[in-house]
Amino acid sequence: MPAPLVAIICGSRSDLETVEKCAALLTELDVPHELRIISAHRAPALLDRYVAAAAERGVRVFICAAGLAAHLAGGVAARTAWPVIGLPMPGGVGGGLDALLSTVQMPPGVPVATVGLGNARNAALLAAQILAISDAPLAERIQAFRADQTHAVEADPLNEER
């Protein structure tokens, strides 16, 4: 099995159902990845060790799913120079507004790309697009994925010309 290029980290086991959608799309696009559950607040030393080791093993993009205070993506971004994608989880205050704001409001010099609440597939697709910059076969798989989306919309019976 090839070394993972994407690390998916979720802050708690309750996030697994959502992040499994992320992993499924990465599998569909043939992007090697791994999944871990590491709380930024309850296990900061484990997070330190994991991020350092993941980068050494070849991980190039991190996807971090967390709700509530949602410090996971920022904690990872503070520990690596590789791209970090925040996946704020629904729930908490305002249906996830707290997680969204915690993920997107990073200080200068520590960026986190952020997708919509619970939108694991967009997180996976963004990670794949970042990797595709230097991987032409992956870029072709993404183009095929996007074309399939277009065809599905066009094939919907409600879009038939009359």
Distance CA 162, CA 144 (A): 28
Residue 156 lies in a domain: no
Contact 107, 85 (CB under 8 A): no
Residue that the structure tokens 């409001």 belong to = 105
Residue 157 lies in a domain: no
Residue 140 lies in a domain: no
Distance CA 62, CA 39 (A): 15
Global pTM reads 0.94
Residue 91 lies in a domain: yes
Residue 25 lies in a domain: yes
Q: Which of 109, 104, 107 is nearest to 81 (CA)?
A: 109
- Give the CATH number for residue 39: 3.40.50.1970
Residue 72 lies in a domain: yes
What residue numbers bound the domain in which 76 lies?
Answer: 6-134
Distance CA 74, CA 3 (A): 24
Q: What is the pLDDT of residue 78?
A: 96
Residue 139 lies in a domain: no
Q: What is the pLDDT of residue 162?
A: 62
Q: What is the pLDDT of residue 159?
A: 84
Residue 70 lies in a domain: yes
- As for how many domains the chain has, the answer is 1
Q: Could you list the pLDDT tens digit for every one of the 162 residues in the chain?
A: 789 999 999 999 999 999 999 999 999 999 999 999 999 999 999 999 999 999 899 999 999 999 988 899 999 999 999 999 999 999 888 899 999 999 999 999 999 999 999 999 999 999 999 999 999 999 999 999 999 999 999 998 888 776
